[in-house]
Structure 1
Amino acid sequence: MSTHSFISFAGVSKTYDGVHYVVEGLDLDVAKGEFVSLLGPSGSGKTTTLMMLAGFESATQGEIRLNGKRLDDKPPHQRDIGMVFQNYALFPHLTIEQNVAFPLSVRGIGKAEQKARVKRALEMVELPQLASRRPSQLSGGQQQRVALARALVFEPSVVLMDEPLGALDKRLRETMQYEIMRLHRELGLTVVYVTHDQAEALTMSDRVAVFSDGRIQQAATPTELYENAHNAFVANFVGENNGLTGRVLEQDTSWATLELPGGAVIRGRCGRGLRNGEEAMLALRPERAHIASADAAQNAADTNVVSARVEELVYCGDHHRVHLKLGELGHGDNLIVKVPNTQHHDLPSLGSATAVAWRHDDCKILATAATVTRGPAQPFTAGVH
């Protein structure tokens, strides 16, 4: 456990049948006041991790600690943790005021103190005027604010959120993202947030832990994840990526060269575990490439240049998406370039041959071999819950 860790997962695994892992070998530290998102596709283990922290699931192996103390023997209501669910989980027969007061009543807080805290919590989420209504009289966004107030009312040391905005429309979801970020900042909350929405994770988090197949593939700041993915899964899952495959020609500690199927040779930052002659993936964000004349691009020593043919032009408001096929005849891999919608960018014509260029340090060459090695679950250890 790190000396700066407030929440600590150490060697945590979860299996229901003794054979297959849902979560395996999880190590993760969260600092006090940090906002950490658990991001990954369905079935990757992120929600199970959250439920083990909350106390609704028990770990098969390993330790979970909060502020240095093991949580294994504590039921959920004794863990000093607030919880916000996707479906709000409000009591339909209770008023908003009674819903928010519920965590206080089960903790034996006096009526006068309850009233003051509920008023304060509803003011935090800007809904004091709705205290006497019932959940059915509120919109989805208002109900989610009430669920947030209920999670905060007993002043927990940690707030857990499981896909809390998944049921809201896009505009309301964005509004609630900023609302949660504001409360996190103003109250100094420690937040662990589960989502499958990469944009949400990048927008809201101090750090993001990317899950796949029960393991954390990378835990880092949003900038680091997007700019410097550790492996092909992270590069493809976080943000949009041109994942071009080829064969490694050479590599050192900083740079690698990749030969694409059509013969083009690309230079980029060197990822982990590359071997000469083996297949690898070029990670290139669509906004980092640009349409250029071959002559102008070739004159830049630090620039990759490939020939391509324009397959499709898509208008997206603030930018155009140019879909291309690599190679002069357009028989190679697909590539997407985002062209900003300004008066100073001329678009190529459909079906035309063009050149695509990007800087060496704007791409990274990553091993495509599986990053997750799995086996049967280890035998249960006596005394480990």
Structure 2
Amino acid sequence: MGEGLIYTDVKPEKVVLVGVITSDQTEEMANEYLDELEFLAETSGAETLKKFTQRIDQPNSKTYVGSGKIEEIRLYCLQNQIDTVIFDDELSPTQIRNIERILNIKILDRSNLILDIFAKRARTADAKTQVELAQYQYLLPRLTRLWTHLDRTKGGIGMRGPGETQIETDRRIIQQKIATLKEKLEKIDRQKSVQRGNRGQLVRVALVGYTNVGKSTIMNMLSKSEVFAENKLFATLDTTVRKVVIDNLPFLLSDTVGFIRKLPHQLIESFKSTLDEVREADVLIHVLDISHPNFEDHYRVVNETIAEIDEHQTDKPTLVVFNKVDAYNPKPEDIGFHPDGKDFALDALKKSWMAKLGKQNCIFISAQEKINIEEFKSRIYEEVKEIFQVRYPYHNFLY
């Protein structure tokens, strides 16, 4: 949120996580969401000491959890010198004020944490501007009594109206910043639109998927380039585009930002220019981590987010790629698998219920271990070739 708002502690912050079990969210789901929240916290540089859950009809409108649970959290934080409490859902301004008053330490919610990670991961001016805009849009309705000066250079003579409080001044400063950032993004969007236009009419293929499923590893493998990849959430923020050639057939391959559950609406809005690569793609490669126990849910989240970008996206040719088969441990009920022999396992996977998830247009690979890569390339080739032939009907080097 600007240089003055970034935490620079060297030692990891000690945090606790808070989630709820409701009629809409089972205990299993709540625990999994908290595991993911812990991964987010770790990515942000924090150490999780404890997770709190409460079974409740719906989140408490005043303090998210009940009075007894919030007191339990307060005592634990006091006894263990906790720095931050992170809640798994987006908190309202009222909830933040009430919880801060009770706990008297820093409060974050999932959206705030994701925004913080994006701020740390942003490398280009484009990504930094998008993240900063999303942060200010998130912050605007949440200014609290604990807030201090946003920008000292803006204070002083001429900035404060008659009887204007500090929060009102801060709110006006944020609104000015939002307007400035939107203008900056519009200019960047125009530049990127020209860049996309200059790429000619090559077929465009976009890698999409949940965060940390291996998209950047696939990008590196196909394009023989070195896109940053690591086992952390949101390792890639800026869209990377590379020209790839498979059997003399050229196309453009883009690696997009990973999706996640409860992605802040502000981020989806501010990153729409980045996600234009998805909107303008001719073919989507939807990557799933088959070794993750909840890849079906990830598949749903990504499809819902893509539909939010543009409802027509779901009609595009899509190849579903089950990555990380080397790390997949079949359940006992998944008959047809054999502990030895990757080829046999691949045959079993092709006949499994998972193959139906991508409406039969799917493939099973390991980008890291180079398993089934030739067939993967062949499938991409066929998808691109079909579009290429329509676009260039008189180009005969393919035949």
* Structure-1-length-normalised TM-score: 0.25
Choose between structure 1 and 2: higher strand proportion.
1
Give 1 or 2: higher helix fraction. 2
Q: TM-score, structure 2 length as denominator?
A: 0.24
- Structure number with greater CO (CA < 8 Å, separation at least 6) is 1
Structure showing greater Rg: 1
